[in-house]
Amino acid sequence: MTMLPCDGPCVTRPQSSLPVSRLEKVLRGLSVFTMLMTVPQVLTIWIGHNAGGVSLISWVAYLIAACLWFVYGLQKNDKTIYLACVGWVLLDLAVVIGVIVYP
């Protein structure tokens, strides 16, 4: 099975199935888009030194989820999962550390 990177419920498909569908391409692009949309949050915290209104609990939960998905991707040897999770772990970690450093 191949897991597509995503923020919400994920789609799986057998590796021997038909070529990537239009929806799967959209979901992959959406995964990259949502990571890019997280960058301003990271910049606001680290450049502006302001994490006011950012929930530490939420971002720790996102970080834990990204770490677990990363481990799962490694176990399944699925680059689609674990490579996307590297980006999410880094972004989530940047927010979590920023919230601690700049409360």
The domain defined by 2-101 carries CATH number 3.40.50.300 = no
The values of phi and psi at residue 3, to 5°, are: -100, 130
> Is the Cβ–Cβ distance between 60 and 17 less than 8 Å?
no
Distances (CA, A) of 67 to 63, 93, 102: 6, 10, 23
User: Who wins on pLDDT, 81 or 48?
Assistant: 48
What does the pLDDT look like over 2-51, one tens digit per residue?
555 555 555 555 555 557 789 878 877 888 999 999 999 999 999 999 99
Residues β-bridged to residue 80: none
C-alpha dihedral (78, 80, 84, 85), degrees to nearest 10: -20
Longest dimension (CA), the chain: 49
